[in-house]
């Protein structure tokens, strides 16, 4: 017990004797590894004592956590932390126990206010590498050819609290912090290119309506309730965004499989002052994929961390998610319209067929956070964090955000010095003349935190344009003061979205509206919403009405579309003339990489272990993950006599059929009589995911009522490379929609149209 003799006094009752010994030996090892032991020995000598500098208070940039001993926050080494200081073994506790009071006080204040929106999120570090394609259009250094910029990206849901489930129906935040050499640039976007409202002044109303209703604080993290639909049914410009949120975009398969959009129009500024208007897009290399609704709901219970886990697992597994950043570019005309589309209206998009997305560079997320709170929770995005070469526009939604993000950090992060928190720090040198404030980390020097000054030699200097100074584009802003919204056709692009969907996507939109409006308790709200949907697409409204047992009253007949805020709707479009945009569909006939996709191999004692190993290795070499799932954990035995065993990854108790992208049934598993296995396979089948079986694995398919020649089902005698290639291609194609029967409302509507 060297520990007892080294002067720390650690001889009393502490955590456990074993733990003490462990700590001592850990320290010894750490010292040996760093060579620290030698230094410590020297410190004991007179020479070291004499030359040791007098310690000054730390000027370190990082709050230190560097003692090898447990200490108080003041650096006092602690001898005991498991029992409070008491008068006698059974109490009472003494007020003089400074360690107890400090420990509990700090604990009491561990939580900071969660984000008022986007509270639930997951983040990752990475790098952005520019292609240089935008070099002519912007002087931003990080967009010049080959420049690599560190990034931190945070994905999120919007409505739910910090502890809510990942897979709820919601918009996803897609916020990227670029630590550029010229300062921090935040691209704070969503996974949908438009928004519910056109003016930021309505944002508190929107969020109050969407959040849990204030009397009982239910429902959590969902819009399927009366107040949300009450509000949006009264907001004329909301239908386009509602189409997006009722589509499969709102239940992504993975953060790695989402597009991202800057939503607003930005302005790029070239070195010679030329400007262009742009919309930012992130395109995932893995394609854009969704869950199916039932899967999303089941996952919310079985694995509320599904997206967070998926992102972290992929990064830890070395299959780094990647996105290409691109822009749609428009001439910076005086009216800021493009092809009849109002570029300052965030409820409108510009179809990619009219303005293709031009790639600028690639983002790779390659490192998980070290500490969730320090990084993902404390990261502070702000749409006003721009660097030279990028400017904002007059979009009234964007303008309100420019105020909001800075303001909210003051409450959330406790004061104006949040830029000094490690995750928020600029890598470009900072000298801002800001002083003091709570949690100030800097030890400022000098007497002149003001400009102009002469006493401080005029420092810090102002940067001219040639020295990288940020110059706001001198655009003329004029107009009579007014509280009016600009003219609009709020349905045109909502209709375009509906028309651009494949049948199965339309069916899902019908189901989503039916589910959500089915939770609305006020019939007038449902009726008003159906009238709005009728203005988008009569087929959509009628099909939703069927599910609700309600009737559609067209606007012309019922006049239900009064606008709550009483402003006059303009007549003139602003929505352009494109009636369809195939690029909006997620269902594309394309096969994507299967990086990090999860395949379950259903097996049990007696299974063909050699076959399972081949399946697992082939899937892993394609970048996918294979989980062997059996009725029990531990290991399973092989079919032949002998001691061959295979470790099981998950059991029926810990795995679930909703967490996978495909299922393989191993020969010899004998699961055909297991009700759990039967419903397992049926669930995977119902969710349109590829299924494969070899050998007598087909018996389980038969027991589940699944035909061996059903779409997306592959059956062989023995696993082979070809069999596995077919499976990988099927996973890369995402879902086997051909399995679905025609949607009942589609059939009924077609029949009633045929009759009339």
Structure tokens at 4: 């007892």
Selected from 122, 165, 175, 535, the binder of ligand HDE by CB under 6 A is: 175
Sequence-ordered strand ranges (E) for 352-487:
358-367, 390-391
The DSSP letter of residue 92 is: P
- The DSSP code sequence of 456-485 is TTTPSPPPPGGGT----------------P
Name which of 117 and 691 has its Cβ closer to ligand HDE: 117
Compose the 199-218 pattern: x for residues touching ligand HDE by CB under 6 A, - for all others: -x--x---------------
State phi, psi for 696 to the nearest 5 degrees: -80, 5
Residues 506-535 that bind ligand HDE (CB under 6 A): none
Name which of 235 and 400 has its Cβ closer to ligand HDE: 400
Structure tokens at 321: 């998610």
190 is an interface residue for ligand HDE by CB under 6 A = yes
Compose the 149-168 pattern: x for residues touching ligand HDE by CB under 6 A, - for all others: -----x-x------------
Q: Are 660 and 599 in contact (CB under 8 A)?
A: yes
User: Would you tell me how many other CB atoms lie within 10 Å of the CB of residue 571?
Assistant: 8
Q: Are 336 and 343 in contact (CB under 8 A)?
A: yes
Name which of 220 and 408 has its Cβ closer to ligand HDE: 408
Q: Work out how close the CB of 424 gets to ligand HDE at its nearest, in angstroms, rounded to a whole number.
A: 11
Q: How many Å apart are CA 525 and CA 223, to the nearest integer?
A: 14
Q: Are strands 322-331 and 358-367 parallel, antiparallel or unpaired?
A: antiparallel
561 is an interface residue for ligand HDE by CB under 6 A = no
- Look at residues 345, 350, 398, 399 and name the one whose alpha carbon lies nearest to residue 236: 345
Structure tokens at 203: 């944002």
Q: Work out how close the CB of 175 gets to ligand HDE at its nearest, in angstroms, rounded to a whole number.
A: 4
- What residue is closest to ligand HDE based on CB? 173
Name which of 261 and 293 has its Cβ closer to ligand HDE: 261
173 is an interface residue for ligand HDE by CB under 6 A = yes
CA 183 to chain centre: 24
Q: Work out how close the CB of 421 gets to ligand HDE at its nearest, in angstroms, rounded to a whole number.
A: 13
Selected from 120, 401, 528, 689, the binder of ligand HDE by CB under 6 A is: 401
Name which of 181 and 305 has its Cβ closer to ligand HDE: 305
Name which of 354 and 406 has its Cβ closer to ligand HDE: 406
Q: Work out how close the CB of 8 gets to ligand HDE at its nearest, in angstroms, rounded to a whole number.
A: 43
Selected from 152, 179, 195, 231, the binder of ligand HDE by CB under 6 A is: 195
Name which of 405 and 737 has its Cβ closer to ligand HDE: 405
The position carrying tokens 């949908």 is 192
329-334 contact pairs (CB < 8 A, 24+): 329/137, 329/268, 329/276, 329/277, 329/278, 329/355, 329/358, 330/265, 330/276, 330/277, 330/278, 330/279, 330/355, 331/276, 331/277, 332/267, 332/275, 332/276, 332/277
Name which of 131 and 244 has its Cβ closer to ligand HDE: 244
Selected from 71, 408, 514, 682, the binder of ligand HDE by CB under 6 A is: 408
CA dihedral 313, 316, 319, 321 (to 10 degrees): 70
Sequence-ordered strand ranges (E) for 349-457:
358-367, 390-391
79-83 contact pairs (CB < 8 A, 24+): 79/8, 79/9, 79/10, 79/12, 79/14, 80/12, 80/13, 80/14, 81/14, 81/15, 82/14, 82/15, 83/13
Q: Work out how close the CB of 75 gets to ligand HDE at its nearest, in angstroms, rounded to a whole number.
A: 33
Structure tokens at 279: 């919309």
Q: Work out how close the CB of 315 gets to ligand HDE at its nearest, in angstroms, rounded to a whole number.
A: 17
Q: Which residues have a Cβ under 8 Å from the Cβ of 584 and sit 6 or more positions away?
A: 351, 496, 497, 500, 501
Q: Work out how close the CB of 346 gets to ligand HDE at its nearest, in angstroms, rounded to a whole number.
A: 6
The DSSP letter of residue 693 is: E
Name which of 263 and 693 has its Cβ closer to ligand HDE: 263
307 is an interface residue for ligand HDE by CB under 6 A = no
Name which of 414 and 456 has its Cβ closer to ligand HDE: 414
372 is an interface residue for ligand HDE by CB under 6 A = no
Q: How many Å apart are CA 389 and CA 62, to the nearest integer?
A: 31
Q: Work out how close the CB of 146 gets to ligand HDE at its nearest, in angstroms, rounded to a whole number.
A: 28
Q: Work out how close the CB of 278 gets to ligand HDE at its nearest, in angstroms, rounded to a whole number.
A: 14
Q: How many Å apart are CA 265 and CA 333, to the nearest integer?
A: 13
Compose the 94-123 pattern: x for residues touching ligand HDE by CB under 6 A, - for all others: ---------------------xxxx--x--
188 is an interface residue for ligand HDE by CB under 6 A = yes
The total number of residues shown for the chain amounts to 756
The DSSP letter of residue 34 is: H
397 is an interface residue for ligand HDE by CB under 6 A = yes
Stretch that binds ligand HDE, among 396-404, 566-574, 583-591, 655-663 (CB under 6 A): 396-404
Name which of 328 and 714 has its Cβ closer to ligand HDE: 328
Selected from 247, 404, 618, 631, the binder of ligand HDE by CB under 6 A is: 404
Stretch that binds ligand HDE, among 25-33, 401-409, 665-673, 713-721 (CB under 6 A): 401-409
Q: Work out how close the CB of 405 gets to ligand HDE at its nearest, in angstroms, rounded to a whole number.
A: 4
- Look at residues 636, 624, 632 and name the one whose alpha carbon lies nearest to residue 600: 624
Selected from 229, 266, 293, 381, the binder of ligand HDE by CB under 6 A is: 381
Q: Work out how close the CB of 535 gets to ligand HDE at its nearest, in angstroms, rounded to a whole number.
A: 23
Selected from 126, 160, 183, 189, the binder of ligand HDE by CB under 6 A is: 189
State phi, psi for 115 to the nearest 5 degrees: -55, 140
254 is an interface residue for ligand HDE by CB under 6 A = no
Name which of 1 and 201 has its Cβ closer to ligand HDE: 201
Cite the active site residues: 118, 190
Q: How many residues touch ligand HDE (CB under 6 A)?
A: 25
Stretch that binds ligand HDE, among 133-141, 189-197, 335-343, 603-611 (CB under 6 A): 189-197
Compose the 313-352 pattern: x for residues touching ligand HDE by CB under 6 A, - for all others: ---------------------------------x------
263 is an interface residue for ligand HDE by CB under 6 A = yes
Selected from 405, 470, 515, 737, the binder of ligand HDE by CB under 6 A is: 405
Q: Work out how close the CB of 187 gets to ligand HDE at its nearest, in angstroms, rounded to a whole number.
A: 9
Structure tokens at 635: 């290991």
- Ramachandran category for residue 138: left, alpha or beta (phi over 0 → left; psi -120 to 50 → alpha): beta
Q: b/e map of 41-80 (b: 16 or more CB within 10 Å)? A: eeeeeeeeeeeeeeeeeeeeeeeeeeeeeeeeeeeeeeee
Name which of 121 and 596 has its Cβ closer to ligand HDE: 121
Q: Work out how close the CB of 453 gets to ligand HDE at its nearest, in angstroms, rounded to a whole number.
A: 34
What does the binding site for ligand HDE look like in residue numbers (CB under 6 A)?
Answer: 115-118, 121, 154, 156, 173, 175, 188-190, 195, 200, 203, 263, 346, 380-381, 397, 400-401, 404-405, 408
């Amino acid at each position: 017990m060297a520990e007892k003799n080294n002067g720390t006094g650690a001889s009393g009752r502490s955590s456990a004797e074993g733990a003490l010994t462990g700590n001592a030996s850990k320290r010894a090892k750490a010292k040996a590894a760093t060579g620290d032991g030698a230094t410590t020995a020297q410190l004991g000598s007179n020479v070291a004592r004499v030359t040791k500098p007098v310690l000054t208070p730390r000027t370190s940039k990082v709050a230190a956590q560097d003692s090898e001993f447990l200490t108080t926050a003041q650096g006092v080494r602690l001898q005991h932390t498991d029992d409070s200081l008491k008068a006698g073994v059974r109490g009472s506790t003494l007020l003089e126990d400074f360690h107890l009071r400090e420990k509990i006080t700090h604990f009491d204040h561990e939580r900071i206010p969660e984000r008022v929106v986007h509270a639930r999120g997951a983040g990752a570090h990475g790098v952005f590498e520019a292609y240089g394609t935008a070099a002519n259009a912007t002087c931003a250094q990080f967009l010049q050819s080959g420049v690599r910029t560190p990034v931190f990206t945070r994905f999120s849901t919007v409505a739910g609290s910090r502890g809510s489930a990942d897979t709820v129906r919601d918009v996803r935040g897609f916020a990227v912090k670029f630590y550029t050499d010229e300062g921090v640039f935040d691209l704070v976007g969503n996974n949908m290119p438009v928004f519910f409202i056109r003016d930021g002044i309505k944002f508190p109303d929107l969020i109050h309506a969407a959040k849990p209703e204030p009397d009982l604080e239910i429902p959590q993290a969902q819009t399927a309730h009366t107040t949300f639909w009450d509000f949006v049914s009264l907001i004329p410009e909301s239908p386009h965004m509602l189409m997006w949120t009722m589509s499969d975009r709102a239940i992504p398969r993975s953060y790695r499989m989402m597009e991202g959009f800057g939503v607003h129009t930005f302005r790029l500024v070239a070195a010679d002052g030329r400007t262009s208007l742009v919309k930012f897009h992130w395109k995932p290399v893995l394609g854009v994929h969704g869950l199916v609704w039932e899967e999303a709901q089941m996952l919310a219970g079985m694995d509320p961390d599904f997206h967070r886990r998926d992102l972290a697992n992929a990064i830890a597994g070395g299959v780094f998610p990647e996105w290409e950043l691109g822009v749609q570019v428009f001439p910076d005309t005086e009216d800021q319209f493009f092809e009849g589309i109002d570029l300052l209206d965030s409820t409108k998009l510009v179809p990619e067929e009219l303005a293709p997305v031009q790639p600028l560079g690639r983002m790779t997320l390659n490192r998980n956070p070290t500490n969730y709170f320090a990084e993902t929770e404390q990261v502070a995005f702000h749409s006003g964090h721009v660097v030279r070469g990028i400017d904002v526009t007059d979009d009234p939604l964007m303008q309100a955000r420019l105020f909001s993000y800075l303001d909210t950090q003051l409450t959330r992060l406790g004061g104006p010095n949040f830029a000094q928190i490690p995750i928020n720090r600029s890598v470009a040198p900072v000298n801002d003349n800001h002083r003091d404030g709570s949690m100030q980390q800097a030890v400022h020097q000098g007497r002149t935190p003001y400009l102009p000054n002469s006493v401080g030699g005029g420092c810090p200097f102002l940067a001219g344009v040639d020295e990288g100074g940020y110059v706001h584009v001198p655009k003329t802003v004029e107009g009579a003061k007014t509280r009016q919204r600009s003219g609009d056709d709020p349905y045109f692009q909502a209709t375009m979205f509906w028309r651009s969907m494949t049948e199965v996507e339309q069916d899902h939109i019908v189901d989503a509206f039916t589910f959500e409006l089915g939770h609305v308790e006020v019939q007038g709200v449902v009726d008003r919403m159906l009238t709005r949907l009728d203005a988008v697409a009569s087929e959509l409204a009628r099909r939703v009405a069927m599910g609700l047992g309600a009737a559609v009253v067209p606007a012309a007949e019922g006049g239900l579309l009064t606008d709550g805020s009483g402003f006059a709707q303009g007549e003139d479009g602003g929505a352009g003339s494109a009636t369809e945009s195939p690029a909006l569909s997620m269902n594309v006939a394309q096969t994507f990489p299967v990086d990090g996709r999860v395949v379950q191999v259903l097996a049990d004692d007696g299974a063909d272990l050699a076959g399972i190993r081949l399946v697992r290795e082939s899937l892993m070499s394609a970048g996918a993950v294979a989980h062997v799932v059996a009725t029990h954990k531990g290991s399973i035995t092989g079919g032949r006599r002998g001691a061959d065993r295979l470790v099981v990854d998950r059991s029926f108790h810990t795995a679930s059929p909703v967490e996978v992208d495909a299922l393989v049934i191993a020969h010899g598993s004998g699961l055909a009589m297991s009700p759990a296995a039967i419903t397992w396979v049926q669930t995977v089948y119902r969710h349109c995911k590829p299924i494969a079986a070899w050998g007598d694995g087909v018996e389980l398919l038969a027991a589940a009522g699944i035909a061996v020649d059903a779409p997306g089902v592959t059956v062989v005698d023995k696993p082979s490379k070809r069999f596995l290639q077919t499976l990988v291609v099927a996973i890369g194609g995402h879902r086997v929609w051909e399995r679905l029967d025609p949607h009942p409302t589609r059939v009924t509507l077609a029949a009633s149209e045929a009759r009339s």
